[in-house]
Amino acid sequence: MTYCVGLKIDRGLVFMSDTRTNAGVDSISIFRKMYTWEEPGERVLVMLAAGNLATTQAVVSLLDERSKAPAERSPSILQTPSMYQTARLVGNTVKEVIASSAPTGQNADAFGASFILGGQIKGTEPRLFLIYPEGNFIETSEDTPFFQIGETKYGKPILVRAYEPTMTFAETAKLLMVSFDSTVKSNLSVGLPLDFLYYERDSYKVGYRKRIGHDDPYYREISDGWSDALKSAFKRLPDFQE
């Protein structure tokens, strides 16, 4: 499996993804699931991928290739006029890859993949989309300001409770680390290192990017600190009376 989160805050967009892929528990590898396209001053696009690794890599390769030889397919991901058109382009590429993986009426579910796509194109607002294996997609709203893909359940309660649109990037980094740590502690199919990236609105360049490994001192501090904080928060809750 996989765990990826994309968050929209007032200041911009924040992304985190794990790197574990597995085919069964005895075939584990590390693959980056965060992809970026950047034209400084013009556009920044960030994509997180979950699902069949062959599908997600094919989608990214096609998007990449076509941006380098735009004659082949126009507009490329570096030329789309809006984030909405970018999401459509990605969605169509996903459909194309999945259809060609299951050409003879095979069950396409095995080739499925979902994506979180966020970014900003000069002259438009930052936007964040969730793209389904069927190629259609939804966008964040005030009520649903973040998307998760992969093993989403363990890390959801803290996101639901602690997210605020006015958060700083440092606070969202903390929030995402807690959400990922809860997931990693509960599910073998999600694993470190993590990729973290944030984009500040109207900056048109990647603001910060870091790979967080097992030995990352801040991650360790959060992981241990959150266990202790939960235990003592729990202790302070009022006791049950029969």
Site residues, its own copies (CB under 8 A): 151, 153-154, 156-158, 160-162, 169-171, 173-175, 177-178, 182, 185-187, 208, 210, 218, 221-222, 225-227, 229-234, 236-242
In what helix (H) or strand (E) does residue 182 lie, and over which residues does it extend? helix 169-186
Q: How far is the CB of 32 from its own copies (least distance, A)?
A: 20
Give the whole-angstrom CA distance, residue 36 versus residue 6: 13
Q: How far is the CB of 150 from its own copies (least distance, A)?
A: 12
Question: 3-state class of 86 per DSSP?
Answer: helix
DSSP state of 108: G
Residue 137 dihedral angles phi and psi, to the nearest 5°: -155, 160
Q: How far is the CB of 89 from its own copies (least distance, A)?
A: 32
By C-beta, is 101 or 187 nearer to its own copies? 187
By C-beta, is 14 or 83 nearer to its own copies? 14
Give the whole-angstrom CA distance, residue 194 versus residue 35: 13
By C-beta, is 41 or 218 nearer to its own copies? 218
Give the whole-angstrom CA distance, residue 205 versus residue 211: 18
By C-beta, is 30 or 170 nearer to its own copies? 170
